[in-house]
C-alpha cells in the first residue's frame, strides 16, 4: 500500500520517482495499491484506476478507458479537464443547448430528456473562415483568458448565444503561432460529434 508517497516532492522529482516506482513494481511483480489525488500521477502509473466518489466506487478501468469513456460527469471532470453544456435531447443523435444544436454519436438518452454534453479541451477544433461553411456543431466564442502551459496554450472562452457555461480549449504552440492568439478576440469552434459524450443531466 502506497499512501500518497510523492505528495511532498517538487514536480521534477515526482515525475522521476513515479517512473522508478512503476519499474520497481513491475520488476518485483507485486500487486500495489497506490492512493493519490494527482490525476496525472494516476494516469501515468496505474494499470487499473479506481475513482472514488464520497466513499463509493464511481468507475474502475484502465487509465485510457476512464479518460476517454467516463461513465458519469463526476468521473469525466475528476480525471483531466472536461467541458460541459446543459441541454435537451431532440433526436437520436441531436442535443439542443440553448440556441445551439449539436450532432452526437454517443447518446443513450431518450428524446426530450435533459442532458449534459461533455467534450475534452483538446478535442475542440478551432476553425478558420473557410472551414465554417455548411459545417454543423460550430459556435463562436469570445477569448476571455490565455494561459501558457509550456507545450500547450489553455484558452478560456465565453460562448456567444444562449450557452451559459464557459469553455476551455487547449491547442499546441504551433497552432497558437498560426492563429496569432494575442491579436484575436473571437474564435469559431468545432465540436466533432464522435468526441462528444452525453450524460443524464443532474439539473
Over residues 188-201, the pLDDT tens digits come to 999 999 999 999 87
- Closest Cα to residue 63, out of 83, 82, 39? 39
* Model pTM score: 0.85
User: Residue 58 CA to chain centroid, in angstroms?
Assistant: 17
Domain segments of the chain: what residues? 2-78, 83-200
Query: Percent of the chain having pLDDT more than 70?
Result: 95
Residue corresponding to grid cell 461533455:
118
Bridge partners, residue 103, by sequence: 94
Over residues 81-118, the pLDDT tens digits come to 999 999 999 988 899 988 888 999 888 888 889 999 99
Over residues 14-63, the pLDDT tens digits come to 889 988 998 998 899 888 898 888 888 888 888 899 999 999 999 999 99
Specify the CATH class of 83-200 in words: mainly beta
Architecture field, domain 2-78: 3-Layer(aba) Sandwich (3.40)
The Cα 17–Cα 30 span in angstroms is: 17
Amino acid at each position: 500500500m502506497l499512501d500518497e508517497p510523492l505528495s511532498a516532492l517538487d514536480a521534477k522529482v515526482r515525475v522521476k520517482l513515479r517512473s522508478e516506482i512503476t519499474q520497481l513494481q513491475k520488476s518485483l511483480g507485486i500487486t500495489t495499491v497506490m492512493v493519490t489525488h494527482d490525476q496525472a500521477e494516476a494516469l501515468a502509473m496505474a494499470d487499473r484506476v479506481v475513482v472514488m466518489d464520497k466513499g463509493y466506487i464511481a468507475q474502475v478501468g484502465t487509465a485510457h478507458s476512464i479518460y476517454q469513456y467516463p461513465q458519469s460527469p463526476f468521473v469525466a471532470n475528476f480525471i483531466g479537464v472536461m467541458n460541459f453544456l446543459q441541454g435537451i435531447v431532440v433526436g437520436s443523435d441531436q442535443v439542443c443547448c440553448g440556441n445551439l444544436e449539436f450532432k452526437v454519436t454517443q447518446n443513450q438518452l431518450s428524446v426530450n430528456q435533459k442532458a449534459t454534453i461533455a467534450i475534452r479541451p483538446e478535442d475542440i477544433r478551432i476553425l478558420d473562415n473557410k472551414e465554417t461553411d455548411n459545417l454543423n456543431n460550430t459556435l463562436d466564442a469570445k477569448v476571455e483568458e490565455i494561459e501558457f502551459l509550456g507545450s500547450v496554450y489553455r484558452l478560456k472562452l465565453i460562448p456567444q448565444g444562449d450557452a451559459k457555461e464557459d469553455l476551455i480549449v487547449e491547442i499546441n504552440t504551433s497552432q497558437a503561432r498560426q492563429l496569432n492568439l494575442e491579436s484575436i478576440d473571437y474564435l469559431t469552434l468545432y465540436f466533432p460529434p464522435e468526441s462528444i459524450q452525453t450524460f443524464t443531466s443532474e439539473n
